Every structure is written in C-alpha cells, then in structure tokens.
Amino acid sequence: MTKKEESPRLLDQVRNEIRLRHYSIRTEHTYVDWTRRFVRFHDLRHPRDMGAPEIVSFLTHLATQANVAASTQNQAFNALIFLYKHVLKRDIGDLSGIVRAKRPVREPTVMSTDEVERVLTHLHGVHKLMALLMYGSGMRIIEVIRLRVKDIEFDLQCITVRDGKGEKDRQVPLPSKLTDALRTQIARVKTLHDQDLKDGFGTVYLPYALARKYPNTNKAFHWQYLFPSPKLSDDPRSGRRQRHHVYESVLQESIRRAVRETGISKDIHSHTFRHSFATHLLAAGSDIRTVQELLGHNDVKTTMIYTHVLKAGACAVRSPSERLNPAATTVVLAPPEQPSKELSNNQQPPASEQRTCNPASHVIHTEINREALPDVAAPMTPPASQSPNWLARLCQRFP
C-alpha cells in the first residue's frame, strides 16, 4: 500500500470528525473503510481532487457491478457525504445521476411461542440469559452486551438502555422470571471485578470524558459491563488494557447453533428475538405506541411492520367497549312487535282480532268519511237483507 492510499492525515481527519460528533466505534470503522475503498476504486486519487462525477460512478458501480444491497449502497453514500461535508468542507454538487439499488420490502422473520421455547432450550448459561433479555425486553443485541450493572433496576422492574440507536436512552421491562439469574450474574461480575483489581486492572471504558472528569469512576463496580469478556483487551482509542464486554459474534454463533439443533427451517438470528417480542406484544393487545417506545423507534411507521406480520386489520382490532363494565354494556330491548296484516275485502280477521261494531259508531264514521268513500252510498241504513255483510266489510276496511 502506498502512502497516498493510506494517508494518515485524511483517515485521521475522518476519525477526529466522527469522534467529535460522538459516533460509535462501529460507525468510525465503517466510514474509514468506505473512504479507503473509494480511493482505491479511483486509482488512489485523493478525494479533494475528485467530486460528484467520481462519487456517482463509484455508487453506480456498487449497484450495477458489485450488486450490493440497497442498505450497503446507502451506507457508502452516507460515508462519502460525511467525508466531503465535514472532513474536506466541500460542496459535492449534483448527485442526481446515481443509480440507486432498489430496496426490497421484506417482512421480518418472527418465531412462534413454541419456536422461541425450542430455541431457548438449546441455549445455556450466559447466552441463554442474553437471549431471554432480547425476547423479554425487545433489546437489540448490541444493547444487551453493552448493559452495565447500574442499568438493572430490580426495585422498579425495568432496565435502562443507555445510548441506544441515535444516542437515545429508554426503559424496557425487566422480566420477573430473570430476576434470580440476573442477581447471580451480577455476583459473578463482582467476583471477576475484584480479581481484576487485585491484578492491577479493573478499569472499564466510560463514554465521553467521564474518565478524565472522574478519574476513579472507571474502576467503580456499578460501571462494569453486565456481560464482561472472559479476556482483557486493549481499548482501540485509549490503548488502555481493560475488560470490555463480550463480542456479539459469540452470541450470534451460539444462537445459530441452537437453531440448527432444533431443526427449525427459518432464518433465525439474534434480531429475530426482538421481532418476536414486538409481534407477540401486539398479538396480545398491546398499544402500538407503547411498543414503539419499548423498541426505541423514531417513527410509528417502523413499528407498523409488525402489524403486517400479524395480518391485523379492522377485524383484529379489539374494540374499547370490551373493557367496559358488563352493567354498562347490557342492552335490554322490548320484544318485537307483530307486523300488521292488511286484509282484503273478502278476508275475515282471526277470531281473536275481530271487533264488534255498533250501527251508531258506523253511521258517524261513514258521515265523516263520506267524500273518501264513493262506493258507500246513501241511505246510511242499508236494507235489512244486506246490512250484516255490508257492515262487516266496512269494519274490515276501517277498523
């Protein structure tokens, strides 16, 4: 490698700008790597001698020739934008000619309750405890391995997630079934920490400038990682030898091995426990806004993907009236009325519904409705031979 390719000035500037903004060490490694790959792609030319056309050609190459995923191309795009905007202090210009990789719309893989139990039975020790925290609290794997002793609130039955995605803190539930296991794990950390102090170590990484502001805080027990690494290591930034947390790859490999042993034909990994946590909460009737806060999502649209997994629509929504007191939801209705039946001229009503009609009331009724009854002729008193039938028909028509 030439000095021009591995220009310490350029790469160090990238690191300094990233640390100035308190980005994670993972972001630092990623942006430095994309800067190096960008320089290599253009035959070791310095980025200050390049601009928008070179950026467009590099990102287009990733989409068309390298056939990378859309998330990978977006990652490279963000790294180069950071390089030119914050390191080189240059305006990039028009990037409209970039061929963007199409981002597929995929639903997350979710395990059933039975599948979760089967996977957990093939995990053991600390790895099982970490998997239970991911499923029981919805934390990401990086959030679990970065937990510190002080983040476990036994009295409040909650866990505080520090510096989550987007440098946000949040609280998640502490499963009551894990209380004894967590107390045992904290006791194991205490024993290991005491031994490190005897050996002249015992420090731990502290965020920002806390180590300088409070010199002895990095040796405090409550700042120790809940899941420490079995070996000491050198901090990549300070160079100090101390005990860091476990590597996430160790837990990921343990989960993959457990899935193979169960024989489940799904692409299950550590993040699947988080997907299952959210889906099972929504299936149990939890409010989607509550699930959004527990997961740490900025937008509820991100949480909505789990309703698609459930195939939940209007028929899956639980009406708020289900929570009302039974006395308030009891409805008493009168029995239905019998529909009226219109009788024809020659049809006799049932015996129970027949009415008696005297001649006096008949005469008054006839006189009032004379104009409306042209077929009822005078005189008002019919002949004796026709009176019964005529009177019955009239009572039928005008009861």
**CATH code, domain carrying 76:** 1.10.150.130
CA separation for the pair 377, 386 (Å, rounded): 13
Domain identity same for 64 and 129: no
**Residue 333 maps to a domain:** no
CB count within 10 Å of CB 207 equals 10
* Mean model confidence pLDDT for the chain: 81
Give the residue, 43 or 107, on which the prediction is more confident: 43
Residue 369, pLDDT score = 46
**Residue 62 maps to a domain:** yes
Last residue of a domain, one of 316, 348, 372: 316
Q: Is the pLDDT of residue 383 over 70?
A: no
**Residue 395 maps to a domain:** no
Domain identity same for 304 and 248: yes
Residue 395, pLDDT score = 58
pLDDT digits (tens, 9 = 90+) for 152-166: 999 999 999 988 887
Domain identity same for 114 and 83: no
Q: What is the mean pLDDT of residues 119-143?
A: 93
CA separation for the pair 348, 346 (Å, rounded): 7
pLDDT digits (tens, 9 = 90+) for 267-321: 999 999 999 999 999 988 888 999 999 999 988 888 888 887 666 555 556 668 7
Phi-psi region of 138 (alpha: psi -120 to 50; beta: other; left: phi over 0): left
Last residue of a domain, one of 24, 53, 87: 87
**Residue 280 maps to a domain:** yes
Confidence of residue 149 (pLDDT cuts 50, 70, 90): very high
Domain identity same for 130 and 77: no
Domain identity same for 144 and 276: yes
Positions marked catalytic:
140, 165, 271, 274, 297, 306
Do the Cβ atoms of 204 and 225 come closer than 8 Å?
A: yes
pLDDT digits (tens, 9 = 90+) for 160-213: 998 888 778 999 999 999 999 999 999 999 999 999 999 999 999 888 777 778
Domain identity same for 83 and 140: no
**Residue 341 maps to a domain:** no
Domain identity same for 297 and 149: yes
Give the residue, 343 or 37, on which the prediction is more confident: 37
Cα-Cα-Cα-Cα dihedral sign, residues 231, 236, 242, 243: negative
Do the Cβ atoms of 293 and 152 come closer than 8 Å?
A: no
Last residue of a domain, one of 274, 298, 316: 316
**Residue 323 maps to a domain:** no
**Residue 332 maps to a domain:** no
Number of domains in the chain: 2
Parent domain of 75: 8-87
